[in-house]
Chain A
Amino acid sequence: MELTQTDESLMLAVKNGNLSKASILFDRYNKHLYNFFVKITMDREVGEDLTQNVFLRMIKYKHTFQKGSTFKSWIFRIARNAQADYYRKREKMQTKDVELNTFASDVLVKEDELAKSEQEKLLYIALFRLKAEQREIILLSKFEKLKYEDIATIYDTSISAIKTRVHRAIGDLKKVFFELEKI
């Protein structure tokens, strides 16, 4: 029965007060969100807190979910806001070289537990050399496999604009990754 229910119908039930349905949505999305957050912050604890925070917001702002919306876009938009709040708090979202280097060192310490190979480790460091939005877009598109239309909804822009951003981000990531590989 649960499997046949769409994310959207479950969320509409939650919106109408049937909070038990939120549990199914948690099961479907907690892994996605956890991976998104841990890979974007390189911190399991922060990833856990932010994932919990998203589900807390899901309940708190359930009234904002509209019929006809895609749940995945809606929940990842909440996730984006949650992580933006986190970065605002930590003031680490800047891409200045000095801060990047410090943050890259943090990553070097933390990624040992997250990355299984040297290549994965390099990939995460390369991701951190990108602009914050590029990093986010790659994680959504290539790691969490969100469709272009879902990402476009999250960013409130057109599908073609998102496609261009994804392609550019991959080009830039490739450049940084292979530069790092040479070191």
Chain B
Amino acid sequence: MIMKDQDIAEKIAAYLSGDLSKHEVYEVETLISENQKWKNEHEDQEKLLTLMDSVSCLEPPARMKNDFEKMLLKENQRPEPLKRVRYWNSSKLWWQVAASLAILALGYFIGISIHKNTTNDQILALQKEMNATKQLVITSLKAESASARLKAVNTSNEMKMMDEDILIALINTLNTDKNVNVRIASLEALSQFADQEHVRKALIESLSTQNEPTIQIVLIHLLVQLNEKRALAPLEKMMNDKNTMETVRDEASFGVFKLS
């Protein structure tokens, strides 16, 4: 088999890297000893490899270690992600919500199976149930107790089909609720519907209005994950705002880095 020049050059590189079998080593050594052109190729490659081995190793600046330690410290201080609170653990109200959802699901599957025979009355009853659940969630989002509001958000989070009115209520909760945990939970619920343009827009807008670091960080992560370029402007603003907490500014600059 006749080898091309490039193949021979590669074979010599393999020889110098110690990647050949005994038989191939013999072939290459014979070639080098008998042919001046390949002898030169071997010498040149060897010279190049020696040069690469001798290239100076650069010392990283000492401040890098300090910066890293600072970053670790911040990371250690970061709160654990909020665990989702289950809503079916206490009050009567929430048993009602759960029961409504179960009835809804049951109604849905029954509806599918007996689709042809479904009467207008049944459809109306189903709609009525759905509206009742929706109203219950929306009303509870305005409840006085933070735990009731949190449960409302988590209930909405469990719903497979999200209603437009509930989304609007959740956006409102994200921007106005007094309790941080409720706001985070609403953000978590909304993140599942971020493919909807108005939800996404609301998330971007919220970036400029939130002042709680935990929420700011979760929002930044979410928008970066969504590769939402429109978040660049508010992120840059955040990055340069001296009133924003340093950790958040770091996250914002990382977000800008990722989205640019």
Contact = CB atoms under 8 A, between A and B. Distances in A.
Interface in A14-67: 19-20, 22-23, 26-27, 30-31, 34-35, 38-39, 44, 47-48, 51-53, 55-56, 59
A119 B51 contact: yes
A92 interface: no
Given A53-B257, A59-B75, A170 B64 contact: no
Interface string B45-85: 10011011101111111001101110110011000000000
A52 B186 CA distance: 33
A50 to B, nearest CB: 10
Nearest to B5: A171
A23 B13 contact: no
A120 B55 CA distance: 7
A23 B68 contact: yes
A171 B60 contact: no
A130 interface: no
A87 interface: no
A44 to B, nearest CB: 8
Contacts of A173: 48
A59 B51 contact: no
17 contacts: A23-B69, A31-B58, A31-B59, A35-B57, A47-B58, A48-B64, A120-B55, A123-B48, A123-B52, A123-B55, A138-B52, A142-B53, A164-B10, A167-B17, A167-B19, A168-B13, A174-B45
Interface in A111-130: 114-116, 119-120, 123
A85 B254 CA distance: 12
B119 interface: no
Given A30-B64, A123-B51, A168-B6, 5 more contacts: A23-B69, A51-B60, A51-B64, A56-B71, A143-B55
Interface in B199-258: 254, 257-258
Contact of A174 (B9, B17, B76): B9
Decide if the interface of chain A is mainly helix, strand, loop or mixed.
helix
B10 A55 contact: no
Interface of B: 6, 9-14, 16-17, 19, 41, 44-45, 48-49, 51-53, 55-61, 64-65, 67-69, 71-72, 75-76, 254, 257-258, 260
B71 A59 contact: yes
A138 B75 CA distance: 35
Contacts of B258: 85
Interface string A146-182: 0000000000000000011011101101100110000
A22 B56 contact: no
Nearest to B67: A52
Contacts of B56: 115-116, 120
A96 interface: no
B6 to A, nearest CB: 7
A85 B258 CA distance: 8
A117 B16 CA distance: 24
Nearest to A57: B254
